[in-house]
Amino acid sequence: MSYVSELRGETYEQCRAAADWLLSNTQVRPTVGIVCGSGLGGLAEMIKDPQVFKYSDIPHFPRSTVHGHAGRLVFGTLKGKPCVCMQGRFHLYEGYPIQKITLPMRVFKLMGVETMILTNAAGGLNQDYKVGDIMIIKDHINMPGFAGVNPLSGPNDERFGVRFPCMSDAYDREMRQLALDVASELGYSDFLREGVYCVLGGPSFETIAECRMLHSLGADAVGMSTVHEVIVARHAGMRCFALSLISNKSVMDYDSQKKANHEEVLETGRLRAKHLEKLVSCMVARLERDNNSY
């Protein structure tokens, strides 16, 4: 155990202790992990025979401090697949070290999870996007990473993954195609998009100049989560699929009177949640244990 890792609170031993505690308290052996973003905790309500654990009861787990994030792990089955669902996640702006906010990904890996499905609420930078659109994330821009804020910084533990993991395939191509196919069958194609997600540290929303810059860099949506979790999940060999619910349009015009706010994010989540839940549940129904197919 390195001193640096011990300070950050995400050693292999701590992740193992959390995983073992959960495995000893539930009969569910999840192969699918789901992370619910702001206002999207209803995904967990679809899980059959739920067994719920508060984050505060799980050894070494951080606690969620954001309104709209329940702070619970829900175990059970979704469309016959054993799942674990995070009702609420952790963010850089809550003050945790970046390694701590991504600890659940490593705990899930040690529990046997093979596939991660992550959701978030995001601001739309692409001017063709509408509030309520659902964007499949095909790639990301890790803005904090440009400043050296990366969940894999520090000593690398080979038991989780290699020192320099590839991220050009961070978002599973086959799962993205599955989402497009399922959306077409459900009649969701009109509000389904595919684009690039940019993560910032938050908690303040972006300035107009920042939105313009991010858009010029190729970002279609901007938010404060998901990317760090994906990096750690991919480092551990799990395949990842992520969706952004476009909860507001980022302000790009200095003459605009619009202002981003968290209440708008939660309200949009409530309005579109059923569609997103249906899309994810239908995708899970088609997942196979083989990581090379669905």
> Looking at residue 162, which CATH number applies to its domain?
3.40.50.1580
Banded pLDDT at 10 (limits 50, 70, 90): low
**Active-site annotation holds for 2:** no
- DSSP letters, the chain, are --HHHHHHT--HHHHHHHHHHHHHH-S---SEEEEE-TT-GGGGGG-EEEEEEEGGGSTT-----STT---EEEEEEETTEEEEEEES---GGGT--HHHHTHHHHHHHHHT--EEEEEEEEEE-STT--TT-EEEEEEEEEHHHHTT--TT-SS--TTT--SS---TT-S-HHHHHHHHHHHHHHT-GGGEEEEEEEE---SSPPPHHHHHHHHHTT-SEEESSSHHHHHHHHHTT-EEEEEEEEEEEPP--TT------HHHHHHHHHHHHHHHHHHHHHHHHH--SSTT--
pLDDT of residue 69: 60
- Residue 267 within a domain: yes
d(CA 78, CA 279): 12
pLDDT of residue 66: 72
**Mean of per-residue pLDDT scores for the chain:** 90
pLDDT of residue 7: 41
Q: Residues 273-286: pLDDT tens digits? A: 889 989 999 999 99
pLDDT of residue 85: 96
- Residue 266 within a domain: yes
- Residue 202 within a domain: yes
Cβ proximity of 154 and 8 under 8 Å: yes
pLDDT of residue 230: 98
**Active-site annotation holds for 93:** yes
Greater confidence (66 vs 97) lies with 97
pLDDT of residue 65: 76
Evaluate if residue 159 carries a pLDDT over 90. Answer: yes
- Residue 292 within a domain: no
Q: Residues 205-218: pLDDT tens digits? A: 999 999 999 999 99
Rg of the chain over Cα atoms, rounded to whole angstroms, equals 18
**Active-site annotation holds for 224:** yes
- Residue 236 within a domain: yes
**Active-site annotation holds for 69:** yes
d(CA 230, CA 118): 8
- Residue 294 within a domain: no
Find the catalytic residue in 248, 250, 275, 283. Answer: 248
What residues make up the domain containing 226? 3-286
Residue 217: CB partners within 8 Å, gap ≥ 6?
A: 141, 198
Q: What is the mean pLDDT of residues 81-99?
A: 93
Domains in the chain: how many in total? Answer: 1
Find the catalytic residue in 116, 135, 224, 236. Answer: 224
**Active-site annotation holds for 215:** no
